[in-house]
Every structure is written in C-alpha cells, then in structure tokens.
Amino acid sequence: MSPESQQPEQTVARSHMRHPLSFVRRSNRLTPRRQRAWDAALGQELLDIPHGERDTAVADDFRIDWKAEFGRDAELIVEIGTGSGEAVAHAAAQAPEKNFLAVEVYRPGVAQLVSRLRREGLRNVRVANVDATEVLDKLIPEDSVSEVWVFFPDPWHKKKHTKRRLVQDSFVEKIARVLPDGGLWRLATDWSGYAVQMRDTISASPAFTNVHAGQRAGEESPLTAVRLEDLDARSMGKTPEPLPLEEAIDDVGGWAPRFEGRVQTDFETKALKVGRRIFDLTFVRTPRS
C-alpha cells in the first residue's frame, strides 16, 4: 500500500450500493490478538452497531443517545477515517474533558485503536466501524458536533478514480448538517491535487467559510512549492514535470497553519520522508440565515 492510502479500501457488490464509497477494504481479517481486543471492547469503546444491508451500513432504525453513551454532556469531536487512531488517541489524552468519536471501516485499525484506548485508560473515545456517510446521516443529530476532522483521506490520485474521493459536494452538505454555526471542519492531505479540490469544493459552499482565506498564497504557498518541483510525481518515483513560475504560483492560498492538536503520525512521517508537502485547511460553519 502506498503511504498516501491511509484509508483502507473495500469492495462492495453494486446491487447493494446506495451511494459511491470512497474506500475499498483490502484485508479485513483480524489476528487472534486483535480479535481478542475487538471482543473485549465491543459494546464499550467499540460501538455495537447493527448493520444494514452491507457490513459498513447502519441499520435504518438504529440511533445513539450520545449523552448516555459517554455518561456526560460534553463537546463532541468526530474524526473520519481515523486509521489506527494515533491522532484521536493523542487528542483524547490531551483533552479529557471532550468526547471523541472515531469513524473507521478498517477492522485491524479499529482493533489496534481500541486496544490502545484500553491500555492508556482513555474513556472519552468511542469507535464506529462503519461508513462515515452512514454515521453522519443516521447517528449524529443536527448541530451536535463542535468539530469534524478529516486527516489524510485516500487521495485516489489517478484521474479515473478521483470521483471516489470523500470530499465531494454531497459530503460537504452532510458535514454542514452536523456542525452548528461556528463549528469547525479541519482537514489535511499530502496530495496537492486533492488539497485544491478540498479548498475549492468547500469554499464554494455557502455553508462554510475558509478561516484562512487568502493566507499563505504566492511564493509562501505550499502548492507553489509542489508545482515548481512537481513534488507529487517525484515522491512516486516518476519523472517530474515542473511548471514554470508564472503557472506554478498559487494566487488563492487559504492554507491553514498546522493544527496544533494534530499529532504527526507514522503515516505523515512517511509522506514527508518521500518529499510530499502537507496541506492543512480549516473551515468554519457560517451562520444559517
């Protein structure tokens, strides 16, 4: 698996697809050790969610009372595509007064996360092993989440696959529903093409405003740096095709400084090692009219 693919992938029969999936699950088997961790956490750190027509869907009549689930009424942060949970576990340890929901379809990653939560005594995290769109549509009430995090989703960098990317117009609408006015959506990616799509797609929605609009543009933009040296191609061992300066300049900007609550994971370290740049974005939910 290339280092850009933090999100594992899943194959699903077309007859059961209600909407395009942004992932294809590869190996989903658990080792005996991880199976024990899964079984021990099920119904506790790991949410026991009845499946719908496929194993990553949520049964239509299933709902969760989040106050009862956590045993308190606290700020809720949702991370979508949490992988093995390095970021959310670190954040939960740093902010025990907040509740966290980690959403991930990859069972081995989920087992690794719940094992860590138990080992470190982190009681303020719940993990959902289902499709993120199902969670957003069925399990999270309107205006109930203070922040949504989408860090390093699968970039689907081949042109024929970009339609599978998570951040599309329909997904933006789902995030807008669960965030209250002033709620934050934080994103990060190490692929420039996806970074531009994220920035432009979310900026085009009246529901969101880029907190850092116009910032880090021109020669200060990480996008300009990537284009000048074609760092994405170079990182994949391909022959780079740098753009001339006048075409490489990113006049739009809008890139956020690194979110201090986002710990550098093993995945990000690998991306940096092969020469890719990290793009952070922060959007705020604009007031409803």
How many residues are listed for the chain in this entry?
289
> What is the Cα–Cα distance from 7 to 227, expressed in whole angstroms?
25
3-state secondary structure of 113: helix
Residue 7, CA distances (Å) to 69, 106, 118, 132, 203 in order: 26, 8, 23, 12, 24
Q: What angle do CA 201, 103, 154 make, to 5 degrees?
A: 50
| 107: enclosing H helix or E strand | helix 107-120
Rg, C-alpha atoms of the chain: 19
Sheet holding 147-151: strands in order across? 125-128, 99-103, 76-80, 147-151, 184-189, 279-285, 208-210
Q: What's the helix, strand, coil split of the chain in %, to 5?
A: 35, 15, 50
Q: How far apart are CA 255 and CA 266, in angstroms?
A: 22
Please list the active-site residues: 154
CB 135 within 8 A of CB 58: yes
